[in-house]
Amino acid sequence: MANDITVKHGWILPLFVSLYITKRSEAVLQWGKRKNIKKLIINGELVIEWKKEKSIKDVVVENICYD
């Protein structure tokens, strides 16, 4: 009896996992439009390349004390 339930509902988890991965991929690809991410398809597989840009910013902190 328990195996029947597992078999009947065994497709639900892969469905949700595939939908989650699809939605995450879409979010990454949309995010990539702003963040220098290249999307390539090599041998039928999606390959995502990105550039890491490091910028050094000088932060000036002023401490003002009022006595």
pLDDT(44) > 70: yes
Query: Which of 35-38's residues contact partners 24+ apart within 8 Å by CB, and which partners?
Result: none
49: confidence class by pLDDT, cuts 50, 70, 90: confident
DSSP letter, residue 6: H
pTM over 0.85: no
pLDDT(22) > 70: no
Phi then psi for residue 38, to 5 deg, are -100, 140
